[in-house]
Amino acid sequence: MSINNNRLFRLFKYAVYTLLAINIYIFWAEEVLAAAVQFPDGMHLSQLIGSFPATIDTAAWVILLLVFELETYELEEHHFTPTVTMTLQGIRIVCYAFIIYALYGYIVKLAFVHQTTQFLGLSDLCTLVSNGWSYATGLDEYSQLTAANCATISDAGSFVQFESTLAVVDHSGLIDIRHLAWVDVINAAVWLLIVFVLEADVWLQERKRYVGAALRTSNMLKVVLYSALLLAAIFWGFKGDFVDFWDALLWLVAFVFIELNVFEWRQEGAASEAQGSNNT
């Protein structure tokens, strides 16, 4: 049974897409809590992207993923009327704008975790209890310091404070957080490169030019880029960041589906051309 007629495959595919949509809420809930610590006096509109890059990024990618799904799988050639084509292009442009904006947000967040100062005279976290202080347990993850956890949350003798916040972390924790922030930036940039390659694939396929050197170059680029994304997922897994690890795996699976769609599309185009040649 072909993939087009395999209902189980299609159900699995759209289940993955649904899980990715659910991740929008998961990232939003996580970033709302982080924003409350990072901006205790309230957030300006200009600070929105630095606080919610994962939410904005994921939402834009889910919509863009559905556009790719429509173009490479659901819609037939006769469906691509000028209105449909312009609508899809408009949605795509808006999604790319938000994705690039989200990449900027990840860079802003990377800058934020590098804006720290040594908390002079602090050697015991318990002295911060009842003053609204929190401890950064990870990137965008904070635990409010209480009498119950202050003595066990870190055994370090010195700490740093994130600029303009009531949040501290020890030096080893800060290194981990900065590494996670760097991986976020790299991951977002690699995904942009992948989608540009996919856009080129679709453009070439529509013009019957997705063959030969173009096909080989695209495949080589994708091997490198998808490998980088897999390494990022493995990194998050080792760091115990389950949400990012799970999200990364889902996106890799989702784009396997898109790649299969493009492959089938190319096969159908080649078969159609061969049939046309035989008829002449």
Q: Is 166 exposed, middle or buried (0-12, 13-18, 19+ CB in 10 A)?
A: middle
Q: Is 237 exposed, middle or buried (0-12, 13-18, 19+ CB in 10 A)?
A: middle
35-83 tens-digit pLDDT = 888 887 777 777 787 889 999 999 999 998 888 888 877 777 777 788 8
- The sign of the torsion formed by the CA atoms of 29, 35, 40, 46 equals negative
**CB of 24 closer than 8 Å to CB of 52:** no
CA atoms of 118 and 121, how far apart (whole Å): 9
203-256 tens-digit pLDDT = 887 777 777 888 889 889 989 999 999 999 999 999 888 889 999 999 998 888
CA atoms of 64 and 93, how far apart (whole Å): 9
CA atoms of 175 and 164, how far apart (whole Å): 19
116-135 tens-digit pLDDT = 999 998 999 999 998 889 99
Percentage of the chain beyond pLDDT 90 is 53
- Model confidence at 7, pLDDT cuts 50, 70, 90, reads confident
Least confident of 104-118, 190-204, 233-247: 190-204
Say yes or no to pLDDT of 274 above 60: no
**CB of 255 closer than 8 Å to CB of 190:** no
CA–CA distances in Å: residue 91 to residues 33, 43, 248 = 30, 28, 23
Closest CA to 23 of 66, 57, 47: 57
CA atoms of 67 and 86, how far apart (whole Å): 12
Q: Given phi > 0 = left and psi -120 to 50 = alpha, else beta, which region is 19? A: alpha
| pLDDT value for 11 | 84
> Could you tell me the pTM of the whole model?
0.82
Helix, strand, coil abundance in the chain, percent, nearest 5? 75, 5, 20
Q: 3-state secondary structure string, 114-138? A: CCEEECCCCCCHHHHCCCCCEEEEE
What average pLDDT does the segment 86-95 reach? 92
- Model confidence at 265, pLDDT cuts 50, 70, 90, reads low
CA–CA distances in Å: residue 190 to residues 61, 78, 183, 221 = 13, 33, 10, 11
β-strand partners of 142: 136
Q: Given phi > 0 = left and psi -120 to 50 = alpha, else beta, which region is 167? A: beta
Say yes or no to pLDDT of 115 above 90: yes
Say yes or no to pLDDT of 1 above 50: no
Q: Where are the domains of the chain?
A: 3-115+174-274, 117-170
